[in-house]
Amino acid sequence: MSDHDFDHDTDHDGWHAGNNASQNDDYRSDGEQVNSLVPASEMLPERIYLLPIHNRPFFPAQVQPLVINRERWEETMRRVGNTPHHTIGVAFVGEQGIDSLDHEGFPAIGTAVKVHKLKSEEQQIQFIAQGMQRFKIQRWLSKEPPYLVEVTYPKEPVDAEDEETRAYAMAIINGIKELLPINPLYGEELKHYLNRFSPHQPGPLTDFAAAITSAKGPELQDVLTTLPVAERMQKVLPLLRKEIDVAMLQSEISEQVNAQMQERQREFFLREQLKVIQRELGISKGDRENDVDTFRKRLETLTVPEHVQERLDEELNKLSVLETGSPEYGTTRNYLDWLTSLPWGVTSEDQLDLGHARKVLDRDHDGLKDVKERIVEFLAEGAFKGDVGGSIVLLVGPPGVGKTSVGRSIAEALGRKFYRFSVGGMRDEAEIKGHRRTYIGAMPGKLVQAFKEVKVENPVIMLDEIDKLGQSFQGDPASALLEVLDPEQNIDFLDHYLDVRMDLSKVLFVCTANTLDSIPGPLLDRMEQIRLSGYIAEEKLLIAKHHLWPKLLKRDNLSKQQINLSDAALKQVIEGYAREAGVRQLEKQLHRIVRKAAVKLLEEEARTVKISVKNLEEYLGAPMFRKEKVLKGEGVVTGLAWTSMGGATLPIEAGKVHTLDRGFKLTGKLGDVMQESANIAYSYVQGHLKEYGAKADFFDKAFVHLHVPEGATPKDGPSAGVTMTTALLSLAKGQAIGRPLAMTGELTLTGQVLPVGGIREKVIAARRSEIFEVILPEANRRDFDELPDYLKEGMTVHFAHRYKDVANVVFSK
Ligand SMILES: Nc1ncnc2c1ncn2[C@@H]1O[C@H](COP(=O)(O)OP(=O)(O)OP(=O)(O)O)[C@@H](O)[C@H]1O
């Protein structure tokens, strides 16, 4: 709607007719409307109603909407509407409230305005006021609202006569022009107004300039009341100047703000771009929402302990305020990833069915009868307690005897998850307990990693080679491991990285070791030891037939028909190529056979390859061990030794070097204890030569050399005492032993035979060397009796209290 005649509506019946919202055009943006204003020179009424205004005075040069209180001014406006001229006097009354206002609060000078587009709303009346001319009150006709006064209209000079006024006028015009580009508020329409004023009409120009400043009400009223135009201009110029300064300052500030905004927008834009690229490349890791979603989702299935929940909340909060690209975000996210990946409150149910356990153990292992029985007992105990957690099993034995494989079977029998790691190679404590989060690239320790992997709180965790940990550990090895293993401490195990306590007490720990010697006492005390001693040839045969060979064939997708290994050949592999306590070496040799046979199958396009004793060397080369000839000759005796590699036969040789002088020499890399033991043997034999039927002065003219072969292998311990004594005595008596016989036992200076360790391993070693007669210390009788029947079968054993008993056995025949 564009009603070009402002008077149109109000002309009918006062302000009611103008009550039409559609008439409320934006008059200021429409230059035509301004042009159609009533000329200011029109005759003005002598009597006018008064309207007080509060913020600032109204100037004759102004056209502006006014809003007034309806209840208060309705009557006044109705009367104005009824006048033919529609003119009202607007007067500035300052901050005086409506209620405290009376006629005395009105200034003498105000502006007569023409009322256009009158419009009444619920609370207020709006109209557009067109400033006409200053009025001066001459007489009050009504001192109560509606205020009515008699006025006169002071004359404005039409033209500026003198130079000075023109100069002021030019200054004002320039000032207004200066304002235009700085302050967008004074837009096009201001320019339009400006064109209407010329330096020749300084009055309206000055009023206009005053009107567009943001000067205070009283200052402006002062301008309004100043009638001489030169004086008025002097008052307006500083106001205009101030306005320009303020506007310039504002525009500078807004420029700065704009620049900052732009910079921020640019950053935002770049970050968004980066996200898009990351998403496209599939590395959109920093996406906070995704991260938080992932973490929350994981937590849904967990029962997180309170103290962990607190930490989670803290860290999630932290995540929500960190910049997604920042390093702190990365570390916090990583930490939360760990914390939410652990199986808080998740356990698997134990299967404590002994029948099932036996089945699993038998299926995976040949032999090991006593080991399996111990494990079944252990599980039975757990079944009564209702829990096997908190126990520590130690499987000790030489390499390749199936410790790992037994550990796995325990887990399977129980229906628990299995995780294994070696503590043997660990360089520092942090590998178990983690690094503090402040470290760059910090990680939790192995235990926490295990939990993340198995996803239950009660797995079987195997700690391999705990006997090797003391040698290469930084920090305090024993106490770190104790913390993990000790049921009293591991209820709230603290990983440095995680920094919240975890309960390890539901874990069943299975440790492995080759020997007990280097395991710290406090640790050893807490463990259920189960010994795996190594296998005799018959056992190895069964293991190879039932497990190793089928496993190897299956791995290469071959059948027994394609590669046929005869029993005799397998036995020869065991005897000639793999004479160790365990079956590692055996497995390796069998693997060599499979590889070579596979080549043959392909190259010769054969359907089957047969491996027998005759052609075995084609596959494995010459045997490493020949069938042991029974050691013969004076001064040669077979001892029995026990090392971390298992039991072994240990030949000992004594020889007379010359008869020029007396003397005794030892070789064979013997440790201190073993050297002392050799000296005891020498002294003992020398002191009892006559008693054992040798020449009493034998040693007076003999330089004797005692050697323990495999000279490069270090040996130690007192258990070769009787063997060395026997070797020296055999030399002195000039009597060879002449039959397969092995012995072990510590000897004291007074000829007593003391017990030794590793009876089982030693018996196995003897059998492996096809020696079926042994001499053991009397005090070891129980150890022997407890051996499984298959080991005792066919064995002749002599138990010795004193060396005399040994000599009786050896030299009686
Ligand atoms: N009694 C057994 N019955 C069947 N297979 C066995 C037996 N003992 C060992 N094995 C097999 O021999 C191989 C070596 O065993 P395993 O790795 O368990 O030995 P280990 O004692 O843990 O050795 P290490 O101490 O060197 O780790 C495995 O393939 C295992 O399955």
Checking if the pLDDT of 425 tops 80, the result is: no
**pLDDT tens figures, 623-635:** 776 655 555 788 8
Cα–Cα distance, 81 to 254 (Å, whole number)? 45
**pLDDT (average), residues 486-494:** 86
- Burial zone of 32 (CB within 10 Å; 0-12 exposed, 13-18 middle, 19+ buried): exposed
**Local structure of residue 656 (DSSP, 8 states):** E
Distance in angstroms (rounded) separating the CA atoms of residues 511 and 681: 39
Question: Between 513 and 273, whose confidence is greater?
Answer: 513
Topology alike, domains 14-152 and 636-811: no
- What is the rounded end-to-end Cα distance, in angstroms, of the chain? 141
The amino acid present at 553, given as its one-letter code, is: L
Q: Give the per-residue pLDDT at 5.
A: 34
Shortest-distance Cα residue to atom 16 of ligand 1: 402
pLDDT tens track for 24-54: 333 333 333 333 455 555 678 999 999 999 8
Query: Does position 713 have pLDDT exceeding 50, yes or no?
Result: yes
Q: Rounded to the nearest whole angstrom, what is the distance from the C-alpha of residue 551 to the centroid of ligand 1?
A: 12
pLDDT classification of 449: cutoffs 50, 70, 90: very high
- Show the ligand 1 pocket: residues with CB < 6 angstroms: 365-368, 399-405, 512, 543, 547, 582-584, 587
pLDDT at 480 > cutoff 90: no
- Is pLDDT larger for residue 398 or for residue 266? 398
* Residue 367 annotated as lining a ligand binding site: no
What is residue 52's predicted lDDT score, i.e. its pLDDT? Answer: 92
7 confidence band (pLDDT: 50, 70, 90): very low
Question: Rounded to the nearest whole angstrom, what is the distance from the C-alpha of residue 365 to the centroid of ligand 1?
Answer: 9
CB under 8 Å to 296, separation ≥6 — which residues?
Answer: none
Beta bridge partner(s), residue 640? 649
Is 90 exceeded by the pLDDT of residue 578? no
Bridge partners, residue 425, by sequence: none
- Comparing 223-227, 422-426, 652-656, the range with the smallest average pLDDT is 422-426
DSSP 616: H
The chain-wide mean pLDDT, for the chain, equals 83
Give the rounded distance of the alpha carbon of 680 from its chain centre. Answer: 62
Q: How many residues does the chain have?
A: 813
Q: Is 663 annotated as a binding residue?
A: no
666-689 per-position pLDDT tens digit: 888 888 999 999 999 999 999 999
Of 64-78, 268-282, 323-337, 609-623, the least confident? 268-282
Domain 537-620 belongs to what topology?
Helicase, Ruva Protein; domain 3 (1.10.8)
Residue 117 designated active-site:
no
Which residues touch 602 (CB under 8 Å, ≥6 apart)? none
Q: What is the pLDDT of residue 471?
A: 52
Question: So what's the pLDDT on residue 646?
Answer: 75
Reported ipTM: the value is 0.96
CB atoms within 10 A of CB 187: 12
pLDDT digits (tens, 9 = 90+) for 138-182: 999 999 888 999 999 988 766 666 788 888 888 888 888 887 777
Q: Could you tell me the sign of the dihedral formed by the alpha carbons of 590, 592, 595, 597, in that order?
A: negative
- From atom 29 of ligand 1, which residue's Cα is the shortest distance away? 548
Does the pLDDT of residue 803 top 90, yes or no? yes
Range of weakest confidence among 34-38, 374-378, 706-710 = 34-38
> Is 804 in the active site?
no
Nearest Cα to Cα of residue 480 among 446, 444, 433, 521: 433
Is 788 labeled as ligand-binding?
Answer: no
Kindly report the backbone phi and psi dihedral angles of residue 547, in degrees, each rounded to the nearest multiple of 5, phi listed first: -120, -60
| Test site for ligand 1: of 373, 401, 464, most ligand atoms within 8 A of the Cβ | 401
Q: State residue 19's pLDDT score.
A: 34
Q: How far apart are CA 117 and CA 122, in angstroms?
A: 16
What pLDDT score does 101 carry? 81
The percentage of residues in the chain with a pLDDT greater than 90, rounded to a whole number, is 34
Report how far residue 505's alpha carbon sits from residue 521's, in angstroms, rounded to the nearest whole number: 21
Other beta carbons less than 10 A from residue 192's beta carbon: 13
- Measure 438 CA to ligand 1 centroid, in angstroms: 41
The answer, as to whether pTM is greater than 0.80, is no
pLDDT at position 424, please?
80
| Whether the predicted pLDDT of 791 surpasses 70 | yes
**CA atoms lying within 13 Å on the CB side of residue 323:** 7
pLDDT digits (tens, 9 = 90+) for 558-575: 888 889 999 999 988 988
Q: Which fold has domain 636-811?
A: Ribosomal Protein S5; domain 2 (3.30.230)
**In the predicted structure, residue 283 carries a pLDDT above the cut 80:** no
Tell me how far apart the 2 most distant CA atoms of the chain are, in Å: 167
For the chain, the structural domain boundaries read 14-152, 288-341, 355-531, 537-620, 636-811
pLDDT at residue 695, as a whole number? 87
Output the six-digit token pair for 149: 């006064």
Confirm whether residue 398 is marked as ligand binding.
yes
Q: What DSSP line would sit under 252-290, residue for residue?
A: HHHHHHHHHHHHHHHHHHHHHHHHHHHHHHT--TT-HHH
Number of neighbouring beta carbons within 10 Å of residue 535 = 27
- What is the predicted pLDDT for the residue at 776? 96
Q: Are the C-beta atoms of residues 597 and 563 closer than 8 Å to each other?
A: yes
Q: Within 10 Å of residue 783's Cβ, how many Cβ atoms?
A: 18
Find the 746 Cα to ligand 1 centroid distance in Å.
Answer: 32
Check residue 301 and give its pLDDT: 86
pLDDT at 638 over 70: yes
Least confident range from 129-143, 262-276, 594-608: namely: 262-276
**Which residues in 111-122 are b (16+ Cβ under 10 Å) and which e?**
bbbbbbbbbbee
Distance CA 438, CA 328 (A): 11
Q: What is the chain's alpha carbon radius of gyration, rounded to the nearest angstrom?
A: 56
Whether omega for the bond prior to residue 477 falls within 30 degrees of 0, making it cis, is no
CB-facing half-sphere around the CA of 160: CA atoms within 13 A:
23
Q: Are 298 and 341 in contact (CB under 8 A)?
A: yes
**Which of 133-147, 177-191, 430-444 ranks highest by mean pLDDT?**
133-147
CB atoms within 10 A of CB 289: 8
What three-state secondary structure class fits 808? helix
The band of 742, judged by pLDDT with boundaries at 50, 70 and 90, is very high
The residue that leads in pLDDT, 14 or 730, is 730
More confident residue, 424 or 277: 424
> From the candidates 533, 677, 719, 730, which is the catalytic residue?
719
- pLDDT digits over 273-282, tens only? 777 676 666 5
Q: 811, exposed or middle or buried, with CB in 10 Å at 0-12, 13-18, 19+?
A: middle
- The residue to mutate among 372, 393, 404, 587, having the most atoms of ligand 1 within 8 angstroms of its beta carbon, is 404
The answer on pLDDT for 223 being more than 80 is: yes
pLDDT greater at residue 709 or residue 639:
639
The upper half-sphere exposure of residue 29, i.e. CA atoms within 13 Å in the direction of its Cβ, equals 5
Task: Please tell me the CATH code under which domain 355-531 is placed.
Answer: 3.40.50.300
pLDDT at 64: 82
Pick the CATH number of 14-152 from 3.30.540.10, 2.30.130.40, 3.30.479.10, 2.60.40.10: 2.30.130.40
Q: How many CB atoms lie within 10 A of CB 556?
A: 13
